[in-house]
Structure 1
Amino acid sequence: MLLEVMNVRKTYGKVVAVDDVSFNIGRGEIFGLLGENGAGKTTTIKMLSTLARPDSGRILLNGKDIQKYRRETRRRIAVVSQDMNLGYELSVFEVLYIYALLRGIRNSRKLIDDTIEKLGMTEKRNAKVGTLSGGQKRRVMAARAMISGAELIFMDEPTIGLDPAVRREMWEMIRQMQSDGRSILLTTHYTDEAEYLCGRVAIMERGRIVSMDTPQSLIDCAGAFAVDINSRTLLFRDSGEADEYIAKESLTGHRVRQTKLDDVLVSSIGRAV
């Protein structure tokens, strides 16, 4: 197991941001943390990346406590934050070259150029970051993670604010990182993103994990069929159970469909409140 998170808790004053959270991430796995804003996803990332210290619990990377081995941990991880933390006055190449120097990566020019080409940014190699579109800036942030040599990459809402086409491009970049042998912890509130990318997901609400499994298993457990009635959605194990309920209640103006992970998220949060 690459990352082990055991009973981690973090408070800020009287506010409990993360409450007794446990999960693990295997090598080459994309693991998703789902939840609404304020659920505790970003605080979890901060603790896992050593930017915040847990009040209690343990976090192990390759079997080593990340608080005791902070310097080694930071060499083995990379963070793609939701904030555009790039030097806008620098060129794309310069941003990546300076990052490589800070990571202690020698002879990085070929690696950088290969990564820029892989991400379809060759024409923007010498362009100032400040002139790039939002999607292109996200690619540069992804490129930093790709050249880092990190085993584990934390991606905190990497597609927030992007249009659907650019989001799809980011998804393929994340898949590329996985195919390169990286493990990824992805936080998102886009359930279609989690369904497409993640082998397993954990749903967070008010600092706690309320459900965790593969996306399909979570859907199957919640109910494979959904019935939309006005502003409500009811979940059922199979179509027969849904039809029986519709007939019993003499429903009209309803819609029967297959359950999506978004329905599971809403249902899980409802149970947690």
Structure 2
Amino acid sequence: MPAISFQSVSKAYPSPRNAASDTFLALDEVSFNIDQGEFFGLLGPNGAGKTTLITILAGLARATSGTVSVLGSDVQSDYAAARRKLGVVPQELVFDPFFNVREALRFQSGYFGIQHNDAWIDELLESLGLTDKAHVNMRVLSGGMKRRVLVALALVHRPPVIVLDEPTAGVDVELRQTLWAFISKLNKQGSTVLLTTHYLEEAEALCGRIAMLKEGRVVALDTTRALLKAASGNVLQFKIDSELPLSLPAGARVTGRVVQYPAIDALAIEQYLAAAREAGLTLHDIEIRRADLEDVFLQVMKQHAQTPSQASKAVV
């Protein structure tokens, strides 16, 4: 039995009146399973449908068609059982301003009918660095501390399936390290984790398998190892102190001073370096590295740059 099952899930929204189409298809026949105990990544650009899929999984929206289940419990017809098996950390900072941290966790326990949960609450507080904030009102916590409390609230009923929707967006390095150490521990103990993130280095380090969405469709689904292995060649990377001249070959990925070119072979590398010399550029910190998940992601998105009607469906 899969931990999470999406079968032919579509979600249509009414389009604005001036739009050419009557509906906007946020999800289009999305199908894949997540096995029990997996650490699974769900990636995609903004607007790809990731949060819509999670919202349907959490029972906060209904799919237009298709089915979603959590450990065999349908999220619509068996919603109470599905919610007990699921813990969701949302993107937004949502909190009750009338309670302190410990009170919020006790109330959340009560929603699931759990009494005398203080031992687990204490462990959550300690593991997430919240022990000294236990009696602090939620209103006065920093954004990072509120994010930690959201994680604790999602885990307070000990769900076997954990969904993390951009959990480290805008938070500091300490929280990331604390969060991933704790979540990795739970995953090793058998919890299933579904992660969405724009920090692709996190997904590469943590996720055993990854699905990529674009325009509401699954465009890639494989193990992280296989996706990296299929990436085309290496990457030539260097730093410059000026803007990249127009005379250099197209296809560069520029981030501040860092320039990256896909390097299929030694000849391609030499051509890039020769073009840089002819342009009079001074290059710093030149290196050739293996393609990472960000490179894979950009390749996949480029390959599926067609309109949704032209893009081929992934076989999953």
Q: TM-score normalized by structure 1?
A: 0.90
Find the counterpart in structure 1 of residue 92 from structure 2: 83
Per-residue deviation, residues 124-178 of structure 1 (Å, max 9, x unmatched): 1111122222222111111122221211111111111113332222222321331
Is the 8 Å Cα contact of residues 128 and 178 (structure 2) preserved in structure 1? Answer: no
Are 1:57 and 2:58 an aligned pair? no
Are 1:43 and 2:44 an aligned pair? no
Is the 8 Å Cα contact of residues 146 and 177 (structure 1) preserved in structure 2? Answer: no
Is the 8 Å Cα contact of residues 222 and 235 (structure 1) preserved in structure 2? Answer: no
Find the counterpart in structure 1 of residue 11 from structure 2: 10
Which of the pair has the greater relative contact order for Cα pairs under 8 Å at 6+ separation?
1
Find the counterpart in structure 2 of residue 103 from structure 1: 112
Question: Which amino acid is the alignment partner of residue 192 of structure 2?
Answer: S
Is the 8 Å Cα contact of residues 59 and 76 (structure 2) preserved in structure 1? Answer: yes
Find the counterpart in structure 2 of residue 19 from structure 1: 28
Aligned length: 269
Secondary structure of the structure 2 residue equivalent to 1:252: helix
When residues 171 and 114 of structure 1 are mapped into structure 2, their CA distance, relative to the original with a 3 A threshold, is: closer
Per-residue deviation, residues 57-87 of structure 1 (Å, max 9, x unmatched): 2223233433221111111111110111111
Aligned counterpart in structure 1 of residue 269 of structure 2, from 226, 230, 246: 246
For residues 61 and 135 of structure 1, what CA distance do their matches in structure 2 show? 29
Q: TM-score normalized by structure 2?
A: 0.79
Which shows bigger deviation, 223-232 or 179-188?
A: 223-232
Find the counterpart in structure 1 of residue 301 from structure 2: 269
Are 1:135 and 2:158 an aligned pair? no
Secondary structure of the structure 2 residue equivalent to 1:4: strand
For residues 76 and 65 of structure 1, what CA distance do their matches in structure 2 show? 11
Identity %: 37
Per-residue deviation, residues 196-232 of structure 1 (Å, max 9, x unmatched): 2111111111111111112222121122412456734
Which shows bigger deviation, 117-126 or 77-86?
A: 117-126
Is the 8 Å Cα contact of residues 4 and 23 (structure 1) preserved in structure 2? Answer: yes
Secondary structure of the structure 1 residue equivalent to 2:76: coil
The CA deviation at 1:248 is: 6.3
For residues 169 and 271 of structure 2, what CA distance do their matches in structure 1 show? 42
Question: Which amino acid is the alignment partner of residue 4 of structure 2?
Answer: L
Q: Please say which structure displays the higher CA radius of gyration.
A: 2
For residues 128 and 64 of structure 1, what CA distance do their matches in structure 2 show? 36
Is the 8 Å Cα contact of residues 142 and 173 (structure 1) preserved in structure 2? Answer: no
When residues 64 and 147 of structure 1 are mapped into structure 2, their CA distance, relative to the original with a 3 A threshold, is: closer
For residues 89 and 260 of structure 1, what CA distance do their matches in structure 2 show? 45
Gap regions ≥5 residues in structure 2 = 15-22, 238-248, 254-259, 277-285, 306-316
Task: Supply the RMSD in Å over aligned alpha carbons.
Answer: 2.1
